[in-house]
Amino acid sequence: MPYLRDPWVAEKGKNRHHSGRLEFMRRWCGAALEPDAMLALELYPWHSTRVTGAIRPDPSIVREFIWDPIEELEDPLVFAFGAPWFPILEGKLGLEVIRRLGREGRRYPTRVASRTVMVMRSPGGALVVAEKHEGAAGPPSAEEVCLLKEELADLTG
């Protein structure tokens, strides 16, 4: 992950976006993962200040450049953070919703009233955990990661 090492960090400083996702993965896995243990794919170019209009990616592009490569991995566990992922994942890529938690599903002990978690499985067996909450598109806090892992232990092992 080039955004988490030099020369990027020396030149631009810490990338909070990718650092937050790496920290989430470390909490989820309970291990001191190196940055190259994480693959991050972006649905939208949030970093671009030139984009001023709504971005509505064609699902076929998401399938070709994001989803199909993921399906080639062995038993991938995919996390999608932010509300924009929900309409793309649900109904556009052939994923089966197998669980809904939080605001739009079965209650669980999250402390974030607006949190919604949707868990899907692909025809190829990939498991996708999509999470959204009001105010940000970042991963859950350390405490929330523990709660979510407990709720999904039967699916994620």
CB 156 within 8 A of CB 126: no
Question: Domain residue spans in the chain?
Answer: 1-40, 58-157
pLDDT of residue 75: 84
> Which DSSP category does 140 fall into?
P
Q: How many CB atoms within 10 Å of residue 81?
A: 21
Pairing mode, if any, of strands 116-121 and 127-132? antiparallel
Q: Mind listing the pLDDT tens digit for each residue in 80-133?
A: 998 888 888 887 888 899 999 999 999 999 999 999 999 999 888 889 999 999
Per residue in 28-39, pLDDT (tens digit) is: 999 999 888 888
pLDDT at 135: 85
Provide the H-helix boundaries in the chain.
Answer: 8-12, 16-29, 59-62, 68-71, 85-92, 142-156
